[in-house]
Amino acid sequence: MIPYARQSISEQDIEAVNQVLRSDFLTQGALIAQFETAVSSYCHAEYAVAVSHGTAALHLACLALDVGVGDRVWTSPNSFVASSNCALYCGAEINFVDIDPKTYNISLNSLKQKLIQAEVDNCLPKVLIPVHFSGQSCDMKEIKELSKHYGFAIIEDAAHALGAEFLSEKVGSCLYSDLTIFSFHPAKMITCGEGGMILTNRPELAHKMELFRSHGVTRNPGLMTEKSHGDWYYQQTLLGFNYRMTDFQAALGLSQLKRLDDFVNKRQNLAQRYNKKLSVLSKLLSLPWQNSDTQSSWHLYIIRLNLKSLTVDRKTVFDHLRQSGIGVHVHYIPIHTQPYYQDLGFKQGDFPESESYYNEAITLPLFVDLEEEQVDFITQTVEKLLLKFSKQGDI
Ligand SMILES: *Cc1c(COP(=O)(O)O)cnc(C)c1O
């Protein structure tokens, strides 16, 4: 089976990890700071805080902004559950904004309408979490303008978008946000096995997240409430977590980062090949639409079926592709339709664009070491299937 995603590990990556394993420090050594500096320089942000997971990064980003009981956080339903769970970890109330039918990112029209209504009802959000779905940035300039007018903070969920650009600046620059988070899960742009990072240009947020990452404990005399008792001394000043990354994870991330631009190029070329080969099926499916202000990192390549022109549903097409050895996937089940979220009061029908997108979407395999011949096999299989299932006269 051709997987939908797969990490690319080189001999250099393996050697980088081996070196740490032979060294004195497996965790809290020098590699974490090096990795943080490398990512923040790459993205042109001032500060970076490495953590154990992208999910931990979202949690700490919320905590840095003092998200708590009585606060409201908004995101879009077309994401992984972590994008909204982070607000619930903090005791805040979560709500969603429907997606744009072309980019599958948060819809700016829906966002504007919801903000106008929320202002009337006195229930504006404290934080908005735009998700750069599939690696294409949201329109951050517009979102930043809205944040100034309505007074909310912004956390970019860029788990898909390391290496992507918005208006010729790297996603992660935080030019249009307070914080940006990345994930280093093996399916994402670069991997540490597991890992995450938060970028920001606001020093006070970075320092708070460093505390939260490690139990809320400090060894910095400047942050203590009384004189040090001695060399062993530390103080806990807030209730933190153990969200630390290990040094061998950081070594892997640092080594992978060197190939990030190459990874993005390869993904871009494969996506173009998909686009070219699938363009003959334009009546039967939509190809990934790209906003000219953005350069996608191409984390995911998604086709959207035109079910009106087909005699079968998405599941039938999906199952046939799996039977042909193509490890297709679906991103995402709208978060608000998950049982846990239905128990919070959300229902089917609340965010119709996310739901109709969900019924039509298929993620085709896309990863750095996917071969052009495999893309050709996949596109030929998709073409044969869709022609077989197309309604007469609709080709
Ligand atoms: C992967 C992912 C996360 C969570 O990252 P982990 O490193 O797996 O914890 C958050 N948001 C989105 C959009 C993701 O795809």
What pLDDT shows up at residue 392?
Answer: 74
Percent of the chain with pLDDT strictly greater than 90: 97
Tell me the best of 185, 299, 300 to mutate to test the pocket of ligand 1, counting ligand atoms within 8 Å of each CB and taking the most. Answer: 185
Number of alpha carbons in the 13 Å side-chain half-sphere of residue 102:
9
Percent of the chain with pLDDT strictly greater than 70: 99
**Residue range 261-389 in CATH 3.30.930.10:** no
Q: Is 54 in the pocket of ligand 1 (CB under 6 A)?
A: yes
Q: State CA 276 to chain mean position distance.
A: 26
Q: Has residue 188 got a pLDDT over 60?
A: yes
Determine the angle formed by the axes of helices 140-150 and 108-120, rounding to 10 degrees.
0
Q: Is 134 in the pocket of ligand 1 (CB under 6 A)?
A: no
The domain locations on the chain are 11-259, 261-389
Q: Is 160 in the pocket of ligand 1 (CB under 6 A)?
A: yes
E strand or H helix that includes residue 37? helix 31-43
Q: State CA 252 to chain mean position distance.
A: 20
Q: How far is the CA of 367 from the centre of ligand 1 (A)?
A: 17
Q: How far is the CA of 206 from the centre of ligand 1 (A)?
A: 20
Contact (CB, 8 A) for 57 and 51: yes
Phi/psi for 102 (5° steps) reads -100, -45
Q: Has residue 104 got a pLDDT over 90?
A: yes
Q: Has residue 317 got a pLDDT over 80?
A: yes
Closest to 239 (Cα-Cα) out of 221, 214, 206: 214
Q: Has residue 393 got a pLDDT over 70?
A: no
Task: Tell me the three state secondary structure of residue 262.
Answer: helix
At 328-337, the pLDDT tens digits run 999 999 999 9
Q: What is the mean pLDDT of the chain?
A: 97
Q: Is 79 in the pocket of ligand 1 (CB under 6 A)?
A: yes
CATH label, 11-259, candidates 3.40.640.10, 3.40.50.2000, 1.10.600.10, 3.10.440.10: 3.40.640.10
At 248-284, the pLDDT tens digits run 999 999 999 999 999 999 999 999 999 999 999 999 9
At 34-60, the pLDDT tens digits run 999 999 999 999 999 999 999 999 999
Q: Which atom of ligand 1 is nearest to the CA of 188?
A: 1
Q: Is 67 in the pocket of ligand 1 (CB under 6 A)?
A: no
| Cα gap 174→176, rounded to integer Å | 5
Q: Is 55 in the pocket of ligand 1 (CB under 6 A)?
A: yes
Q: Has residue 212 got a pLDDT over 70?
A: yes
Closest to 198 (Cα-Cα) out of 179, 176, 211: 179
Closest protein CA for atom 5 of ligand 1? 54
* Complete edge-to-edge strand list for the sheet that includes strand 179-183: 47-51, 196-200, 179-183, 153-157, 127-129, 72-75, 93-96
At 121-166, the pLDDT tens digits run 999 999 999 999 999 999 999 999 999 999 999 999 999 999 999 9
In the block, tokens 């035109």 appear at 306
Task: Tell me the three state secondary structure of residue 322.
Answer: helix
What pLDDT shows up at residue 394?
Answer: 56
Q: Is 191 in the pocket of ligand 1 (CB under 6 A)?
A: no
Q: How far is the CA of 82 from the centre of ligand 1 (A)?
A: 6
Tell me the best of 80, 88, 243 to mutate to test the pocket of ligand 1, counting ligand atoms within 8 Å of each CB and taking the most. Answer: 80
Average pLDDT on 110-130 reads 98
| Close Cβ partners of 57 (under 8 Å, ≥ 6 residues apart) | 49, 51, 181, 182, 183, 196, 197, 198
What pLDDT shows up at residue 280?
Answer: 96
What pLDDT shows up at residue 54?
Answer: 98
Phi/psi for 224 (5° steps) reads -90, 155
Q: Is 104 in the pocket of ligand 1 (CB under 6 A)?
A: no
| Cα gap 298→29, rounded to integer Å | 33
